[in-house]
Amino acid sequence: MALEMDAERHNSGLQLLIVNERARLLRFLAVRGAGDEAEDVLQDLWQRVALSTSQPVVDPISYLFRAAENLMRDRHRSNVSRERRQQDWHSTGDTPQDVPGGERVLIARQRLREADAVLAALGPRVDRVFRSYRLEGESQASIAKTLGVSLSSVEKDLQKAYRALAALKVKLDAE
């Protein structure tokens, strides 16, 4: 029990340090190429610190800066891998066997209309947040700034959209 309390105190101390060093961390990430994703990286850092059960850190500021840089590098590697997969996928091209038949095209269009209807039913902001983030690849921080809402509101809107689309998928899979 005492060990758990020490870990919680340690984590809350690191979280407080993130809040205090937020501006420096954002500048640090921006200089290293995070750009608009700096806020997202900082959010990931916050979550990682909140979930960690590590031992006390000798130099917490250095630890946070190193962890932020590692997270940014991980995101960059992930983006590069995703772009490579996309490029490989598109470069294979469609063979006559890959082109869907008329029935599959009609079903896909119907499902797309249903997904559009589900998103529209959630309201214009949720719809816009989802499309901006998932389809246009805009960062959550950028969306929040554009819409004049908090990052938390953007995250909640995305959660609403994901839950609604997951429910639609369950419904469609049952049919």
Burial class (CB within 10 angstroms; exposed 0-12, middle 13-18, buried 19+) of 175: exposed
Residue whose tokens read 């369950």? 170
Mean of per-residue pLDDT scores for the chain: 85
Could you tell me the two tokens for 136?
């246009």
pLDDT per residue as tens digits for the range 18-62: 999 999 999 998 888 888 888 988 998 988 888 876 677 888 899
pLDDT per residue as tens digits for the range 70-109: 998 888 888 888 888 888 777 766 555 666 678 888 888 9
pLDDT per residue as tens digits for the range 121-163: 999 999 999 999 998 888 999 999 999 999 999 999 999 999 9
Give the separation between CA 142 and CA 23, rounded to whole angstroms.
17
Which amino acid is residue 86, in one-letter code?
A: Q
pTM: 0.45
